[in-house]
Every structure is written in structure tokens, then in C-alpha cells.
Structure 1
């Protein structure tokens, strides 16, 4: 799909694009010094790349993290999970969706009891927001504003990106969660897809497309919006009155050692959660001391509670039910998922 921009809109400074246009897959191997260093392979969805750096450094300062180095791979959540399924190295996996972890459970690569943790397997969280141009010239405030004629939307592709699936389900919940029928929700999603001008492969690629000048509004994680502002992008973001809680799972693989397990436990502790908060993620545990968050709408109160916050478990029956119902691919005689079918009907199936 060709990405278009309104004629009056210029490109964002190259320095901003270089910060946000992170590669779909990157690796930081252990250094040459310290031959006794242990390496933890972290395989994660794309938006974790910048957020993980301070977490890695803080873990290295612990007794368990002494002499530890990290090898990392980042990309679209579904693609990353499938790569591990196919044999890519991973000690710790951290994805956008629960289904990307359960895929590995089904292959015996992650233990079935991976959710038996104080956070039920969740390592980071956020909410779906609208990223808009500085000053919000289109007056985007609610979901209904997105389907007005002429509004140009960018959102990642649900076929590869976990971020996209959260975005689309948040739009669905806006209708059904406020008393509408499923037919009403299908009509709303059809209008939203009709206004969508690009479906990049990952949440990070979608952010880059938007900060490069395409579209009026980007559907995204709150933390991505905050990171964009921290990086100097000339954007604002709106937390809509009703939105969906995003919960990102993490687990160790069955062959990982006790150091990887210690790191997994560390990232849901207060120190790492405070680090993630500085990158715009909402803490998943209580008792986290959060300093002012640069880039947030209100740095001193960075994570306001929406008027209505939907959840995947309470409003969609969990990912085990929602994945097939909304995103099924029609294989093995199963019906297409609702969103998959709507994408085909509207011709909005991703990048050409």
C-alpha cells in the first residue's frame, strides 16, 4: 500500500526518524572483554528495544546480573514468536500478545505454567491512544472522530503486529462496550479501515511512518506516543475516554538457566518497572516510584485513568477466545476471523 501525506505536511527532522526507525531485528552480542560473561538471549516485540536498555543495565548491577550480557532480537510480535518456533535463539521472550507465547507453549518451548507468577505472566502494560499532529489540527478526541470523512489513519497490520490487534479490539470495544451490536461494530471497523492509508508491519514501523509525515492520526500504544515525544517528534497524543488495557506477556524458554529466570523476575520488580515507566509503560505492580515522565501529557501524572477501560479478559473472554474469533486465518476449515474478513472486504490487508 502506498503511504500518502497531505501536501501541506513536511517530513520530521532526520534526527527524529533515525531514533524511531529501528530495525525489525537487531542484535547486541556480548562484548569481547570478560570471557566469563553469560549471555541472555532476549527475543521481543519491536517497541521494547529502547525501553529495555536501562533495564539491562540495572539488572547487571544486581548479584544475579553480574557478568551478564544480552543478545537481543526485536521485530513484529507475531514474526518474532514464529522465528523462535522455527529455531531462533531465545532465553526470555517478551511479546505484545499472549497468543505469541502460547504458540511456543504448544511447541514445548515454553512451560505450560508460565503464567503462574504474581503478575500472571504480564511484564509491561499500556493503553491504546491516538497520536496526532502537534496542536491536534483535525480535532481528534474520540473514536467517532476517526471515522469522519477525510481523516487519514495509520495503524500496524493485524496480520503481523500485536499492537494492531490491540488497536482494532479497542475500536471494537468502543462500540460493543457502549451498547452497540456486533453488526454496529463491524460497520464502525469498516469505516475505520476505509480511512486507513497504511498498515505497516509493526508498531515501530507505524510510528516511523507517522513521524515521517504520513496520516492525520496513528493508533498506537501510549508508550510509543511518549517515546516519540521524548525523541523530539512534533506530535501530541490523546487518551480517549474509553480505551483498551494492553498487557504484554513475558516468559523464559524451557532450556533457559536460572540467570534468565532471575532476569524475568527482575523485570516485574519495582526497579525495572520504574525504568519501563520512564519509557511510557504503565507499571504492572504496585509500589513503583515514578518520577516525572518526559513526553507524557502531564509528566507529573503520566498515566491518567481513562473514563472506561476495557480489558481482554473481561470484555473479550481472553486471547484464547478472541484470537480465533477476530483474527482467524481460515485454515484447516475454520472460518475467517471477523477482522481478517473485514480486511479482505475493504482491501486493507497490509503493505503491497
Structure 2
């Protein structure tokens, strides 16, 4: 049996499992049986819109409408807890879905399928100005005295947490101590000149002329190029696989189960994610992108740094599961991002406070 056939079978199995797990999530959704209310973090808005267009052309999706709300992942998660209508959430980090589980809005089994609840993936990259005038080649260049950085705020943005964890892992997963990693984060945030609410806001700040380097999702750089606002980007030798979760709410309209199945399907949602700069899911090897699995060729991906290899392999690709005690964020959340209200503040929280940018 070929590798391609095996991967398709594994993906199909994951889809079947996800559908089975979500079968109990029916009910009269807040948006009505023919409308799906999507609440998401800001970055995948364009991709989800493209997926919705494709879904509308399927038998299941014919006549289905959509209502959408996008913003910073943490803010969106808290808004749903506070009553924002949602049938499906597409958030940046799993902890923002777990908040909904704790509130009784999402089933505890939401991440039990083979895809572990993940619907979209990307990597952390370093966006730079045209021609890379500061000669940024990797993480260590970001703590030079002549470099100014744009990144979102971990207090509201999931993208910011991926960025910070990638920076932490650059040190700890290459032989450095946690003390050295903490110092690296202190030095990095000392160079931050724009600490925005969301990943999309950070991109807009950078495009507006702020900073020398943007900590960003790879797909944000590709999408910006597709929209005529491109910037160059560097993939560090060590970077982090970004894994964004999606989940159906317990009171969702029944059609939302079909939507999630389509989002996960190789030639449905995953194809559209790839066309919008995300790395399509690979359940066998997250570090490998096989565009043929989603019916595409390299030339179909516009805006990538290398048209012949739009999603290149990373020399040292870190993942939550392999490097940080996952699946899920586990104790790394408190270690890095605790706000200090119930004990010692996390390493990243302290770094931001030391930088004087905590109120930005």
C-alpha cells in the first residue's frame, strides 16, 4: 500500500472518529438550523471564508448561511463564555477551548479524535523588511540593540503565546537552561516596540511601518503577499509547529458537525487552508507537507517565499507533544504565562513587565 493511500485512510479514520464524537452535540443552535455561527481568532478569517464558499457547493452545505466573529483568541473565548453566540469555534490555542469545556459549552471529548481537535497548522516565522536590511537570520539576531520587534500580547492573543514558546524553545531545546531561556525572553521583550491585541493587529502594525521584525504565523506572511502587502520572512532553524483547535459547541446547530467534517477533509477545508498559506494537516508526520494529499501543487500556493517549495521542512521543528509535555499546553502555560494573580507570574509575563510594556 502506498504512503499516500495510507495517509488518506488515516485521515478518513480521523474524520469518522471526529464525526462520531460530535454526534451528541446536536441541538437547536443559537444561529438556527441553517446558519452556522463561527467565532474565531483573527488570523484564519480569510481561509474560513474560502472554506465556507466551498462548503456551500456541497450537498450538506447547500443553503447554509454563516455568521462570523473574529478577534484575539483569548478575548473570543471569554466572549463565548459570556454569551456570544457560537456553533463552532476556531481558536489559536487549546487552552481557549478548554475554557469553554470548563463552562459546559464544549464536550470534554472534543479532542479525542486522531487529529486531537486540531484543524489548522502553521509555523512561527520572522517577518522582515524588504531586502532584510537588518540581516535577520534567526532568533539570536532579535536581541541585538539595533532590532525592534512587533508581536501581539500573550494576555489576549494565542499567536503571541506560540511566538513566545518558540523563542523559549529556541534556547531550551538547543541545550540552554531555563534560566538562559528566561534571560533570552527578557532581552527579546525589551526590544518589542509594538505589543498588539491580536496576531492580525500585529501584522497590520508591521505593514504600517512599525518595527524591523514581526513575530508571526507563516500563513500571515503568505496571505499578506497574496493581498499585495507582502513582506519577506525568515524561517529559523528552530521553530514551533502552530496547532490551532476547532470545536463544535454542545448546543450547536446539527449542520455544524458536517461543517467540521468538511473543514478536516483533505480536498475540502485542508485544501483551502493550504491555498491561504496554512500547512495542511499531516497526521503521520506534522513536519512534512505533501500538497498532493490536498490536490495541489507547489505552483498553486501564491505568496510563499519559495514558489518551488512553499512549505519547506524545518531543520528543528518543535511540537507541543514532542518537546513541551503535550498534547496540549500542560504546565507550560503557568510556567510562561501565569498572570501572577494566584502566585508567581510566568516567565513571559515577567519579561513583559520588566520591559515596561505591560499596559500596551
Task: Please name the residue that 2:70 is paired with.
Answer: 74
Contact 1:293/1:300 (<8 A) preserved = no
List gaps (5 residues or longer) in structure 2. Answer: 1-31, 284-292
In 1, distance between residues paired with 2:74 and 2:65? 25
Task: Please name the residue that 1:335 is paired with.
Answer: 344
Task: Please name the residue that 1:278 is paired with.
Answer: 275
Q: Does 1:322 align with 2:322?
A: no
In 1, distance between residues paired with 2:191 and 2:52? 40
Query: How many residue pairs are counted as aligned between the two chains?
Result: 315
In 2, distance between residues paired with 1:299 and 1:124? 21
Contact 2:34/2:253 (<8 A) preserved = no
In 1, distance between residues paired with 2:118 and 2:359? 28
In 1, distance between residues paired with 2:243 and 2:313? 15
In 1, distance between residues paired with 2:127 and 2:208? 13
What's the secondary structure of 2:122's corresponding residue?
A: strand
In 2, distance between residues paired with 1:337 and 1:138? 31
Task: Please name the residue that 1:180 is paired with.
Answer: 176
Give the drift of 1:37: 7.7
Give the drift of 1:206: 0.4
Give the drift of 1:277: 0.4
What's the secondary structure of 2:270's corresponding residue?
A: helix
Give the drift of 1:150: 1.3
Tell me the C-alpha RMSD between the 2 structures. Answer: 1.3
- Residues 185/223 of structure 1: CA separation in 2 closer, same or farther (3 Å cut): same
What's the secondary structure of 1:199's corresponding residue?
A: strand
In 2, distance between residues paired with 1:219 and 1:114? 30
Residue 105 of structure 1 is aligned with which of 88, 92, 101?
Answer: 101
- Residues 298/183 of structure 1: CA separation in 2 closer, same or farther (3 Å cut): same
In 1, distance between residues paired with 2:206 and 2:355? 22
- Consecutive aligned runs of 4 or more in structure 1 exceeding 6 Å deviation: none
- The within-5 A match list for 1:279-318 is 279-285=276-282, 287-291=293-297, 292-318=300-326
What's the secondary structure of 2:95's corresponding residue?
A: helix
In 1, distance between residues paired with 2:232 and 2:71? 25
Task: Please name the residue that 2:242 is paired with.
Answer: 246
- The within-5 A match list for 1:118-133 is 118-133=114-129
What's the secondary structure of 2:294's corresponding residue?
A: coil
In 2, distance between residues paired with 1:113 and 1:267? 18
In 1, distance between residues paired with 2:323 and 2:264? 25
In 1, distance between residues paired with 2:265 and 2:337? 33
Q: Deviations over 1:12-40 (max 9, x none)?
A: xxxxxxxxxxxxxxxxxxxxxxxx98110
Residue 59 of structure 1 is aligned with which of 40, 55, 76?
Answer: 55
Task: Please name the residue that 2:190 is paired with.
Answer: 194
What's the secondary structure of 1:163's corresponding residue?
A: helix
Give the drift of 1:80: 0.2
Question: Which one is further off, 203-212 or 226-235?
Answer: 226-235
What's the secondary structure of 1:90's corresponding residue?
A: coil
Residue 166 of structure 2 is aligned with which of 145, 163, 170?
Answer: 170
Contact 1:124/1:283 (<8 A) preserved = yes
Contact 2:38/2:66 (<8 A) preserved = yes
Give the drift of 1:349: 1.5
Give the drift of 1:350: 4.6
Contact 1:267/1:273 (<8 A) preserved = yes
Contact 1:198/1:350 (<8 A) preserved = no
Q: Deviations over 1:285-341 (max 9, x none)?
A: 46222232111012232111110001112222231221111111122x332111112
In 2, distance between residues paired with 1:267 and 1:72? 16
